[in-house]
Amino acid sequence: MPVVAVNLLVPIESLTGDAPADLEGFGPIPADLARQFLADHDTAGGVIRRVFTAPGTGELISMDSRARRYPGLLAAFVRLRDRTCRTPFCDEPIEHIDHIQRHADGGATSVSNAGGGCARCNYTKEHPDLTITGDADQRTTTTRGLSETSTPPSPPGAERPVAFTIRGLSKPVTIRLPREAVLAGDRR
């Protein structure tokens, strides 16, 4: 039997106040009913996808699901954000969308707890010598203390500062430069 999936558009004002939420295929519902629906959904046997909107603009900013696996649109969102495997130094195509904090350990099925990975890296991250932490900026740490951070690439047209870390000092130092300074430096 197929699982029923319900999309609930939730402005922050619905979670914190009286603004209505929007139940796809039905329309506006009172904020208190939306909050109750989110709290009690496990008894219904379906899946609720919470879609969050920006205050004032209504722009879609994030979505999550109470399902174990990443459903279609949420997986598509992560694939568009990550583009290639998120394991440091791997740029293989994404084959798996998985939790950064394991679902079994309470990790949410959400954009901020999702990472795209190739099959090999996704299976390798379960090794007891590795720890993956963070959110969209995920950090991989070995039991020997080696650590690397993977940040999603900037969307086309967006400028993200370039950052690099100097190791070998008594304390690692991270330096952030505007991208245009780095590009100007490359032209010399």
- In tens digits, the chain (188 residues) has pLDDT values of 556 667 787 787 888 888 888 887 788 899 999 888 877 655 555 666 677 777 777 666 776 656 667 777 788 888 888 888 988 888 899 999 998 888 888 888 888 888 899 999 888 888 888 888 877 777 888 888 888 888 877 665 555 555 555 555 555 555 555 544 444 444 33
| Residue 34 contacts residue 17 (beta carbons within 8 Å) | no
Domain ranges in the chain?
Answer: 5-65, 85-153, 158-188
Q: Are 67 and 47 in contact (CB under 8 A)?
A: yes
How many angstroms separate the CA atoms of 151 and 4, rounded?
A: 34
The pLDDT value given to residue 119: 92
Determine the Cα–Cα distance for residues 124 and 36; give it in Å rounded to an integer. 39
Q: DSSP 3-state assignment of 8?
A: strand
pLDDT at position 96, please? 92
pLDDT at 63: 66
For residues 145-158, b (16+ Cβ closer than 10 Å) or e, as one string?
eeeeebebeeeeee
Rounded CA separation 105/7 (Å): 25
